[in-house]
Amino acid sequence: MDRMPRDDLEHSRRRILAAWAVHLLTASGALWALLALNALWHDDWREVLFWLFIALVVDAVDGTLARAMQVSDYAPRVDGASLDLVVDYLNYVLVPAMLIWQSQLLPESVALPLSALILISSLYVFVRRDMKTTDGYFRGFPALWNVVAAYLLLIDLHEWVRACVVTLLALASFAPIFVVHPFRTRDFPLAARSLAIGWGLFTFALLLPNLADTARRLTLAGSIGCLTGLALMGVRRSFRPPPVN
């Protein structure tokens, strides 16, 4: 039996290690969720949002790294897609739902039912086979409850307005609308990525302590502006015919 050349064997080992490192990066999301829950236990919502933001950044890059490292070929024992979904449900749904509930953002009479609605509607999002379109859009509201929780904490709204927002977004999980995936879309990819990165920078700045009121208002406006740009891309996609594959 012919043996693999030494250089090829070493290259293969490096690729296997790299593939497993990407899986480990994805799995680190469970740690960020744990740290966020610990911060929630200590009523430190700013730290909760910080760990959720770290998890969001990891989720934004691990897919690209997984494809570059060919993890399905070099670490096939682990289903990276399933791992990603498990971790995302923790950081995008479970922890934010707990944050919204325990931070008393909602009227007490509906806090638990609406938190349950977040969990259940998000299960539908995560298990549907056609979650994403071929041109890089999510079907329905893609359970971005980490983002929702952040804005509910950062923007001063009446508790019943917050309850309406949560209800409408949960129902939007089943609606025939589209939400852009900024790193997968084929439409204006540079603009989508720029808006997503801008949103990340502005939103992270909002978590910094001792931010002056004027700076906070401007930063919040920048965050909302970038998010609005991304939302309008989804609106545009919702009102035009589906692409021909």
Domain boundaries, the chain: 6-238
Burial class (CB in 10 A: 0-12, 13-18, 19+), 224: middle
* Longest CA–CA separation in the chain, Å: 73
- pLDDT 10s per residue in the chain (245 long)? 455 565 566 778 888 999 999 999 999 999 999 999 999 999 999 999 999 999 999 999 998 899 898 888 888 899 989 999 999 999 999 999 999 999 999 999 999 999 999 999 999 999 999 999 999 999 999 999 999 999 999 999 999 999 999 999 999 999 999 999 999 999 999 999 999 999 999 999 999 988 899 999 999 999 999 999 999 999 999 988 766 65
pTM of the model: 0.91
